Every structure is written in C-alpha cells, then in structure tokens.
C-alpha cells in the first residue's frame, strides 16, 4: 500500500499517514508543546481522525522539536487561578477525553519521546501502549511541586507501573532520565535520538504486518477490564471473549492461512 501525506489546518499539530502508521506530531515549540486547551483539542481531533481511519493501524505521538511536552501552559495557568469549580472540572474533563481516546482506542499507540516529557506531557507519553525514549529524554509527574495533583494520570499509571514506583514518582515529583524510566516500566525501549524515527517506524510497521487488528481490539479491551475482577468473573469474561473472537473475520482468516500453511499478512 502506498503512503499518503497530508497536513491538518491546525498548525500546532501535524498529521501524517505512512504505510498504515498514523503520526500525530506536537508542533508548538514556542510553548514547549504545552497542553493548553487549544493543544488538547487539536490532539483530540487528530487522534480521533486516525482512530476512525481504516487505513491507520498504529498511531505514533511525537514532537517536531527537542521537547516532547512540558505539561501545562504557563499563560493558561495564570487564568485558572480565577476559574470556578465548574470551569476547572470542565477543563479536567477535556484532558481526560484526550487520555481516554488513547487508552480506550482500538489501535496501538506508540509515543516517541525526545527531550522532556513532564507533568501532563509525561502522562501523554506513558499512557500509550508503548513508549520509546532517547537517552536525552526526561520524565516526571511534577504537579505536586506547584500544588497540583496528577489525578488523571494516576488512574491510568497504576496499571502500568508498580505501587512503589508510582508513589516515588507522584509523591516526590522528581524527574528521571530514560535509563531510570525504563527500569520503572515507564519506557519500553531506549533508542539513540538519531535513530528514533526509523526505529519507531520499523516497530510500528512490524505490528501493522504481523498483528491482527481484531486481536488488538479484544486484547486492549481485556487489559482495561481485567484489573480488579474476581477470578471467576474474569475467567467467565475471558471465555466469552475467546468465543466471540473465534467468530471474527480475522480469526477465520488466520485459521485458514495456518491450515493451508500460507504466510498471513495483516
């Protein structure tokens, strides 16, 4: 399949589709890609577009600069000092909608982190299914240092890293480098910054060609639903999912290919 390239009308976010890999590039370097309302809404729009596009199988989040995302927009912080509780709740729900698109999306998300990923930006990077980082990358949930609470991030992060690491990062607000982040489970792979684009594309392309889209949907749904389930309920749910998956077009195609000893390409 050929490659398609297009650019959205929102300059702070650039989108591209390359051989079934959809890119969402944060492109607001003068604000260090801060998550102000305009950036959040732009990301929501472009991620939703990739999720709805059948030509996209893997979505990559990256930055056009040497900062992945520095968290909150400082100029916007000065405004929220005077927000009502209702306005603050609406603002928080807007960010939650962005995170939910990634966490609940039926496609694989990969973050490509070069430089700082801090506060909400760290949440954006680590909520993805896979996080690739360079040795120059830094990660930190620094909200507590200015009286904020990394509340939304905490809900998602508890499913990614252990309780000890969770408490360490959230309660201290300290910043860790890529080496320490991979040891904590925040990062999946460390890559040289010069090799990052090629490494991430090769990884994403490999997933596109070797993994069933239907399987991705079932697996991501189960990963969200299983934590906290009682054993009997979890096994009932697993059996039902298994039965449903066996009737999917992808599974039937996979069985036919396996029985005929033909290599399958998704």
My answer on whether 233 and 197 are in the same domain is no
Output the pLDDT for position 218: 96
* Residue 22 CA to its chain's centroid (Å): 13
Rounded to an integer, what distance in angstroms lies between the CA atom of residue 242 and that of residue 29?
Answer: 46
Asked if residue 228 and residue 158 are part of one domain, the reply reads: no
- For residue 5, being part of any structural domain is answered with no
Query: Is the same domain home to 160 and 234?
Result: no
Assign residue 56 the CATH number of its domain: 3.90.226.10
Within this chain, do residues 113 and 243 fall inside the same structural domain, yes or no? no
Structure-token match 């999946």, residue found: 188
Higher pLDDT, 261 or 105: 105
In a domain, 1, yes or no: no
Whether residue 262 has pLDDT greater than 80 = yes
Q: Give the pLDDT score at 263.
A: 85
Mean pLDDT of 94-104: 96
Residues 55 and 137 in one domain: yes
Cβ-contact 42, 79 below 8 angstroms = no
**157 and 234 assigned to the same domain:** no
Chain centroid to CA 263: 30
pLDDT at 72: 79
Average pLDDT, stretch 57-82? 91
What are the residue ranges of helices labelled H in the chain?
A: 37-52, 74-80, 85-104, 120-126, 151-157, 163-172, 178-184, 196-210, 213-225, 231-246, 249-259
109-159: pLDDT as tens digits: 999 999 999 999 999 999 999 999 998 999 999 999 999 999 999 999 998
Which of the two residues, 110 and 3, has the higher pLDDT score?
110
Q: How do strand 138-140 and strand 176-177 relate by DSSP bridges? A: antiparallel
7 within some domain: no
Per DSSP, 138 falls in state E
Question: Do 40 and 142 lie in a common domain?
Answer: yes
Q: Which residue numbers are catalytic? A: 143
Same domain, 185 and 236: no
Can you give the residue range of the structural domain that contains 143? 13-209
> DSSP letters of 12-63?
TEEEEEETTEEEEEE--GGGTT---HHHHHHHHHHHHHHHH-TT--EEEEEE
Q: Is the pLDDT of residue 3 over 70?
A: no
For residues 176 and 76, the model is more confident at: 176
Residues 60 and 22 in one domain: yes
pLDDT in tens, 5-49: 444 455 899 999 999 999 999 999 999 999 999 999 999 999 999
**Is there a domain that residue 41 lies in?**
yes
What mean pLDDT is reported for the chain?
93
Give the integer Cα–Cα distance in Å for 209 and 15: 21
74 within some domain: yes
Higher-confidence residue of 36 and 74: namely 36
Query: Could you tell me which of 22, 187, 32 has the C-alpha nearest to residue 120?
Result: 32
Q: pTM of the predicted model, to two decimals? A: 0.91
What is the number of structural domains in the chain? 2
Q: Tens of pLDDT along 199-249?
A: 999 999 999 999 999 999 999 999 999 988 999 999 999 999 999 999 999
Give the model's pLDDT for residue 10. Answer: 52
């Amino acid at each position: 399949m050929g490659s398609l390239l297009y650019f959205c009308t929102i300059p702070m976010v650039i989108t591209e589709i390359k051989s079934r890999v959809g890119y969402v590039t944060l492109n607001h370097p003068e604000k260090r890609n801060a998550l102000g309302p305009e950036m959040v809404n732009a990301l929501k729009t472009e991620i939703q577009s990739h999720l709805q596009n059948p030509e996209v199988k893997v979505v990559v989040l990256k930055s056009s600069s040497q900062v992945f995302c520095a968290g909150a927009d400082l100029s916007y912080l000065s405004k929220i000092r005077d927000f009502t509780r209702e306005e603050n709740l609406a603002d928080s729900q807007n960010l939650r909608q962005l995170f939910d698109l990634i966490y609940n999306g039926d496609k694989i998300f990969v973050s490509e982190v070069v430089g700082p990923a801090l506060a909400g930006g760290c949440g954006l990077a680590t909520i993805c299914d896979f996080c690739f980082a360079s040795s120059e990358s830094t990660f930190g949930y620094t909200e507590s240092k200015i009286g904020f609470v990394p509340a939304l991030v905490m809900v998602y992060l508890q499913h990614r890293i252990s309780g000890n690491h969770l408490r360490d990062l959230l309660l201290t607000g300290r910043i860790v480098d890529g080496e320490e982040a991979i040891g904590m489970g925040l990062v999946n792979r460390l890559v040289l910054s010069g090799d990052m684009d090629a490494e991430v594309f090769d990884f994403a392309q490999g997933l596109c060609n070797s993994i069933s889209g239907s399987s991705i949907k079932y697996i991501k749904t189960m990963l969200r639903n299983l934590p906290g389930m009682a054993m009997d309920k979890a096994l009932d749910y697993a059996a039902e999912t298994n039965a449903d998956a066996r009737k999917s077009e992808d599974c039937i195609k996979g069985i036919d290919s396996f029985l005929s000893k033909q290599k399958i390409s998704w």
